[in-house]
Amino acid sequence: MRTVEEQLAIVSAAAVTPEPVRTAVSEALGLRCAEQVEAERSVPGFDQAAIDGFAVRSVDIRHAGSADPDVPSARLPVVGEITAGSHRPVRLQPRQAVRVETGAPIPTLADAVVPLDWTETRGRRMEALRPVPSGGFVHRAGSDVQPGDVVVDQGAVIGAAQVGLLAAVGRSKVLVYPRPRMSVISFGPELVDIDRDPGLGQVYDVNSYALAAAGREAGADVHRIGIVSGEPRRIRDAVEGQLIRSEIVVIAGAVGGAASDRLRSVLATLGDIDTTRVAMHPGSVQGFGTLGADRVPTFLLPANPSAALVAFEVMVRPLVQVIRGRRQAARRVVQARTVAGLESAPGRRGFIRGQLMRDRETREFLVDPLGAGGGGEPTHLLGSHGQSNCLIVVPAEETHIAPGQVVDVMFMTNRS
Q: Which of 288, 286, 291 is CA-nearest to residue 351?
A: 286
Q: For residues 256 and 129, state if they share a domain.
A: no
Domain count along the chain = 4
Does 104 fall in a domain?
Answer: yes
Pair 84, 133 in one domain: yes
Question: Tens-digit pLDDT profile for the chain (416 aa)?
Answer: 899 999 999 999 999 889 999 999 999 999 999 999 999 999 999 999 999 999 999 999 999 988 888 788 899 999 999 999 998 889 999 999 999 999 999 999 999 999 999 999 999 999 999 999 999 999 999 999 999 999 999 999 999 999 999 999 999 999 999 999 999 999 988 899 999 988 898 899 999 999 999 999 999 999 999 999 878 898 999 999 999 999 999 999 888 777 788 888 999 999 999 999 999 999 999 999 999 999 999 999 999 999 999 999 999 999 999 999 887 888 899 999 999 999 999 999 999 999 999 988 899 999 999 865 433 445 555 665 667 899 999 999 999 999 999 999 999 865 43
Residues 297 and 406 in one domain: no
Domain boundary among 324, 354, 370: 324
Is residue 173 assigned to a domain? yes
Range of the domain at 389: 333-411
Q: Where are the alpha helices (DSSP H) in 2-58?
A: 4-13
Examine the fold and report which residue of 110, 139, 168 is the final residue of a domain before the chain moves on: 139
**240/314 same-domain check:** yes
Specify if 416 maps to a domain: no
Cα dihedral sign, 252-346-3-412 = positive
- Cα separations (Å) of 232 from 101, 191, 260, 275? 72, 17, 12, 19
In a shared domain, residues 229 and 266: yes
Q: How far apart are the first and last CA of the chain?
A: 38
What residues form DSSP beta bridges with 81?
A: 99
Instruction: Give the CA radius of gyration of the chain.
Output: 32
The DSSP bridge pattern shows strands 181-187 and 349-358 to be: unpaired
Q: Is residue 183 part of a domain?
A: yes
CATH of the domain at 392: 2.40.340.10
Residues 106 and 201 in one domain: no
Same domain for 151 and 33? Answer: yes
Residues 208-220 as b or e (16 or more Cβ within 10 Å = b)? bbbbbebbeebbb
Rounded Cα distance between 228 and 189, Å, is 9
Are both 108 and 130 inside the same structural domain? yes
Same domain as 298, residue 206:
yes
Q: Are residues 303 and 212 in the same domain?
A: yes
230 inside domain: yes
Residues 255 and 369 in one domain: no
- Closest C-alpha to 75, from 137, 120, 108: 120
Note whether residue 129 is domain-resident: yes
CATH number (domain holding residue 66): 2.170.190.11
Identify whether the C-beta of residue 4 lies closer than 8 Å to the C-beta of residue 349: yes
Q: Are residues 233 and 377 located together in one domain of the fold? A: no
